[in-house]
Amino acid sequence: MNILRPATVPHSNHWTGAKPPLLRFLDRCHSDFSAETRGAVADYIPELGKANPDQFGISLATMDGHVYEVGDTRIPFTIQSMSKPFVFALALDTLGAARVERAIGVEPSGDPFNSIRLNAENHPFNPMVNAGAIACTGLIHEAKGADAFDYIRKALGRFAGREIDVDQAVYASESATGDRNRAIGYLLRNSGVIKDNVSEVLDVYFRQCSIQVTARDAAVMAATLANRGVNPVTGEAVMTPYAITRTLSVMTSSGMYDYAGEWTYRVGIPAKSGVGGGILAALPARLGLGSYSPRLDKHGNSVRGVKVCEALSSHYDLHMLNRSDNARSSIIADYTIGKIPSRRSRRPHEQTILSAHHQDVRVFELVGTLSLANVDYVARQLAAEPRPQFVIFDLRRVASITRAGARLLAEEFRELAQFRITVILSGIKRSSADWKAIGEWTEGISNLRNFYLLDTAIEWAEDQVVYRHGGAIDFLETADLSEQPLLAGLTGQELSDLAAIGSIRTYRAGEKIISSGDAATSLFFLRSGVVHVTLPDGIRLATLTAGMAFGETALLEPHRSADVFADMAATAYEVPIRDFEHYRQQHPSASERILRNLAQLLADRLAVANAKVNLLTAG
């Protein structure tokens, strides 16, 4: 049996500064509800009657694996009926839904949890009452035999994220006083729901209910339910999403026994209680809550635990039917390359084509969770004329994609293919879970491309537009100084004199030409090939082809602020700054023109940056 933390330690949150707001709220709940003394400790199982009625712990686990704890969150208590949803999910995953659903119903009973009554088909009403829970244990026993209990214990441990074991004293007490459950067991055997030895099944059930957990464990277990079966603390996929969804459904309708309707009305969070004093509540995609206080109301639910759940739901408006997500908020930016082109500098003939056909490439930068409603909203934005030829979906800010969202997104891709529109994804790695979610539905779609970087995706789409409209992108073509935008307006003599002070340099693919932080001693005019400019952290600022200048900020700053690498074999004119200063003295009008051109180029870059900021802030 595990050694649990002593009762004298009240918290696990060792905050040295200001507490987070959610922890402060839980602190207030603990302080306010500690004064509540209504209810009584369960004593129909003698060992449960020994619980300290003043113990009270609250724990909340988030979807990113953080656990808040207030009060007696490490006090061990027996899981009792809180085991029922997890064993139901285990049965679904172990035997399959068809087998489980043939034996156990999913309708609320309206009766106390230990009612000796079956439905019209002589089956338990649902897996949250004792009859249904014993039937679930019987199904596991049927599949696993003598290993059934250990199989259940390990599964519950994966939900909690640690090894858990039985309180032997409670197990002995429960077994000695379990005649009502034995009556239920024989009723199930008589109706054919249980096929194995009833005593053996009930022994597993008594042990299952006597497993020790804490309020913290309950919160993590609830968060695993809320996280579609993935434990947010350990990262382990404990159960399938199918089993979790069905389990949460039954918890919603029947988890709080004959108080379930009132609970759903007032709290609206799927939950399960146990007569050991625990309550766990799982709000899908949001949080898991676990509480412990052994004073129970007439329904068998923890009085303080119910108050905590009511306060949390009311204060933060967490009722599951009161979602206020806005589908329009999924689009953080929507633009064409006319507003935000790639960082690649284009030669005049390319710019002319892209300016005339900028609506051919449309970019959606998406954010948050892509659900059915979010994807539907995006799809409707694409329905308006004129339709683009390329659509880029940037997913780098997308936190998750629901199964419905992934399926609808794939259906949208197929629809776009009918119009010969190419879909490009960016910001998503092929090894990621979201890519796999999309990939399940996109197999065979020929109009789909994937680039991890958004700028690379936009650049590729721009190239396709240039090609489609008769342009050419010749990286090996040699550009004269007369084609340099920085030198626009210079006379032939001024260009010749500038060429005379420059030297032609050759660079291998991958070679670093300029290093950030070095002295700025030259400026360069690219004759052929491609180079890219990056910040020291690797962020690409620009891609340059023949006819473009780089290192030109040497005219303004004494040191380099970025790195420049050759993407492929390249040649460039290198003009030393010291020689250029002599050139400026000899050609003052050319010097003035170059500085004006530089100012215009910098202004154009700033305009593009401002446009992107405006799009993002407007979104």
Domain 21-316 superfamily per CATH = DD-peptidase/beta-lactamase superfamily (3.40.710.10)
- What are the residues whose beta carbons fall under 8 Å from the beta carbon of 9, sequence distance 6 or more? 74
pLDDT of residue 310: 95
Average pLDDT, the chain: 88
Name the nearest CA neighbour of 464 among 546, 385, 360. Answer: 360
pLDDT tens-digit readout, 326-356: 677 788 889 999 888 888 878 788 889 999 9
Say if residue 182's pLDDT is above 90: yes
pLDDT tens-digit readout, 84-142: 999 999 999 999 999 999 999 888 876 667 777 787 787 898 899 999 999 999 999 99
Higher pLDDT, 285 or 78: 78
- The CA distance from 240 to 48, in Å, is 33
613 pLDDT band (50/70/90 cuts)?
Answer: low
The answer to whether residues 288 and 161 touch, using CB atoms and an 8 Å cutoff, is no
Say if residue 500's pLDDT is above 50: yes
Among the ranges given (58-62, 369-373, 455-459), the one the predictor scored with the smallest mean pLDDT: 369-373
The answer to whether residues 512 and 563 touch, using CB atoms and an 8 Å cutoff, is yes
pLDDT of residue 430: 66
Name the nearest CA neighbour of 191 among 251, 138, 250. Answer: 138
pLDDT of residue 16: 44
Query: Helix, strand or coil for residue 574?
Result: strand
410 pLDDT band (50/70/90 cuts)?
Answer: confident
Helices H / strands E in the chain, number of each: 20, 22
Higher pLDDT, 517 or 1: 517
Domain 327-468 superfamily per CATH = STAS domain (3.30.750.24)
Among the ranges given (107-116, 175-184, 271-280), the one the predictor scored with the smallest mean pLDDT: 107-116
- The CA distance from 581 to 578, in Å, is 5
pLDDT of residue 127: 92
Q: Which secondary-structure segment (H or E) carries 95? A: helix 84-95
556 pLDDT band (50/70/90 cuts)?
Answer: confident
Segment 144-151 long-range contacts (CB within 8 Å, at least 24 positions apart) = 144/94, 148/204, 149/203, 149/204, 149/207, 149/208, 151/90
pLDDT of residue 443: 73
Say if residue 493's pLDDT is above 90: yes
Say if residue 189's pLDDT is above 50: yes
The pTM (predicted TM-score) of the whole model is: 0.66
Say if residue 617's pLDDT is above 80: no
- The CA distance from 107 to 117, in Å, is 13
pLDDT of residue 205: 97
Higher pLDDT, 79 or 599: 79
Domain ranges of the chain: 21-316, 327-468, 481-614
Give me the residue label for tokens 């064993």. 87
- The CA distance from 6 to 55, in Å, is 13
Q: What percent of the chain has pLDDT over 70?
A: 91
437 pLDDT band (50/70/90 cuts)?
Answer: low
Name the nearest CA neighbour of 278 among 28, 49, 530, 75. Answer: 75
Report the CATH fold assignment for 481-614: Jelly Rolls (2.60.120)
CA dist list (Å): 338 to 342, 353, 361, 363, 458: 10, 11, 9, 11, 11
- Transcribe 495-538 into DSSP letters: HHHHHHT-EEEEE-TT-EEE-TTSB--EEEEEEESEEEEE-TTS
Say if residue 3's pLDDT is above 50: no
Q: Rounded mean pLDDT of 532-544?
A: 83
434 pLDDT band (50/70/90 cuts)?
Answer: low
